[in-house]
Structure 1
């Protein structure tokens, strides 16, 4: 299924909940009150969307949140999605509950996990996440690697907050088969209250402190990857602010309450859950998805006047 700009859209991100067991400073207000379980997509809703998506050539699904591992039916969801013909299924998580659930998830079809991790300093981690325990995340990462899952670390570097964490995060790629990806802070929700570090600055810092393997560079989706000399893992850069990657965007998003998002920073136009709860058929679901995919915008509008700008916090979008 192609959008009106000729991009092949084969990737669907589904948010399972707005709830989270952390309150990261750039993501959620400290006293926020997420939606209750009765307002989110049900397991049956999700399976209906997946079945229609497969027929539109959706090949990859990522389950996000909030914190997706808070869903009690997470293992059933992974199994059911994989059984319906999706080629690859991934989860993005803060990692706090990962160690307890990763083996069951792997056994039911999970292909990989992205862990949000902005520092390896315990006190700094607790400060950024407002109380998170770093050790739990590290154990989850180790278990995931031992299960031979694809593991990616997603890191947001914020001026005057965690710039000192860059080198330690990168060193994880030397002896571990994982990717550390630096994602530029996006001016969405709480993110507007902070100043992110340009990825070109991080690249130049790493080139000076470590040096890159000159024979390796890979562009995959919205990420550009490099490697340190003789490292097992890779270093990725996702740069929506410094270098618009929209021409390679291959995804649409679904919020936990059913809103289809054509673009991360643009409000959704339709809530598919309202139709699913009326028991519409697969062909009708496909028509809704086809229309939303076809009408994806050419590019995001970060930093520009945009009357359709998304004003929600990232946990409510499914970042």
Structure 2
């Protein structure tokens, strides 16, 4: 089992397949993607090599992220390859929902079983304002189709003061919709310091409000993400909160990240990643990747430094998938 010097075990790998994103979300890429869309992102075979190594180290869950992973035409092939690896029992994708109704069947056929869809508002005009795209109806259609296909579906929403922090519409929707909607605190990055100060909402304030209304905590699985989830007997859906500024947020960390260029990130807000791409090439024994990663993980710090306004090398969240 992959374990760091603080006894934390890593069951969960977030694997970015591209930096490219076609949305212009105000909290991430307000000016659109500014990188190089023709960069040599990890190939399907390199991604498979990475996951084979991590599976040998006890990783059970793989989340494919971006940018927007759906922009890769070979995403179904990637899902299929990873789904066949022994020890991996959960393949998830996080998507902005672009063309999801046309794509979700192919992803499910390849072996996808969990889907996270970013829906920052259930109001179409607010959704358009946040993302730069008038596609809420399309995204909701894709979400409904994913549920029909039997996938476990969760919705992500970045919580922003005065923009989407009125929970009335969300609670009405969750009365009848059996999904988990997870609110994510705005996180400060080097590109978004002013935005953070203007729009940050403390997730703990939402948590206290939920508890006062009879919502109850859900026990976390060992391979679960960082959200604290809550359920209520009167609601079909659940609410989750991702609160990176809360005390002891990092104490239960169970995930590592690999960027689309093959850099291992021990923390979302660490300094420059560690290049592990040489270990992902044909002919390189998996044991070499296992040994290298096991050693690198011992250097993982106890916590991030967000409270000190230090986001490390993170300029925006599309870089390694949030």
TM value normalised by structure 1: 0.91
**Aligned equivalent of 2:303:** 299
Match of 1:139 in 2: 141
**Secondary structure class of the residue paired with 1:156:** strand
Instruction: Verify: 1:260 aligned to 2:264, yes or no.
Output: yes
Separation in 2, partners of 1:170, 1:294: 42
> Aligned residue for 2:58?
57
Distance 1:177 1:68 in 2: 25
Partner of 1:169: 170
Distance 1:115 1:170 in 2: 18
Residue 84 of structure 1 corresponds to which residue in structure 2?
Answer: 85
| Residue in 2 that maps onto 1:248 | 252
Q: Which residue of 1 aligns with 2:68?
A: 67
Tell me the equivalent position of 2:47: 46
| Contact map agreement 1:26 1:190 (CA 8 A) in 2 | no
Aligned residue for 1:187? Answer: 188
Number of matched residues?
314
Any conservation in 2 of the 1:212–1:226 contact (CA below 8 Å)? no
SS at match of 1:131: coil
- Contact 1:3/1:295 (<8 A) preserved: yes
Q: Find the counterpart in structure 2 of residue 20 from structure 1.
A: 21
Q: Does residue 316 of structure 1 match 2:303?
A: no
Q: CA deviation at 1:82?
A: 0.6
Decide which moves more: 133-142 or 35-44. Answer: 35-44
Q: Is the 8 A contact 1:262 1:268 kept in 2?
A: no
CA shift digits 1:289-310 (9 cap, x unpaired): 212323221111102265x812
- Please tell me the root mean square deviation across aligned C-alpha atoms, in Å: 2.0
Q: Deviations over 1:150-193 (max 9, x none)?
A: 111111111132223x2212333221221011111111244423
Following superposition, the deviation at residue 274 of structure 1 comes to 4.1
2:320 and 2:193 map into 1 onto residues whose CA distance is 15
Give the C-alpha shift of residue 286 in structure 1: 1.3
Q: CA deviation at 1:213?
A: 4.1
3-state SS of 1:115 partner: strand
Partners of 1:191 and 1:135 lie apart in 2 by 29
- Whole-Å separation in 1 of the counterparts to 2:172 and 2:219: 19
Whether the 8 Å contact between 1:154 and 1:181 is mirrored in structure 2 is yes
Secondary structure class of the residue paired with 1:297: coil
Q: What is the rounded CA distance, in whole Å, between the counterparts of 1:16 and 1:200 in structure 2?
A: 32
What TM-score results when the alignment is normalised by the length of structure 2? Answer: 0.91
Judged with a 3 Å threshold, the aligned counterparts in structure 2 of structure 1 residues 123 and 277 are, in CA distance, closer, same or farther, namely: same
Partner of 1:202 in structure 2? 206
8 Å CA contact 1:262–1:296 kept in 2: the answer is yes
CA drift at 1:105:
1.3
Deviates more, 1:90-99 or 1:286-295: 286-295
Residue pair 2:16, 2:321 contacting (<8 A) in 1 also: yes
Report the Cα offset of residue 12 of structure 1: 0.6
Q: How does 1:276-287 map to 2 (within 5 A)?
A: 276-277=280-281, 279-287=283-291
Q: Is the 8 A contact 2:188 2:309 kept in 1?
A: no
Q: Is the deviation greater in 180-189 or in 254-263?
A: 180-189
Which residue in 1 is equivalent to 2:235? 231
CA contact (8 A) 1:156 1:184 kept: yes
Deviation of residue 217 (structure 1)? 3.8
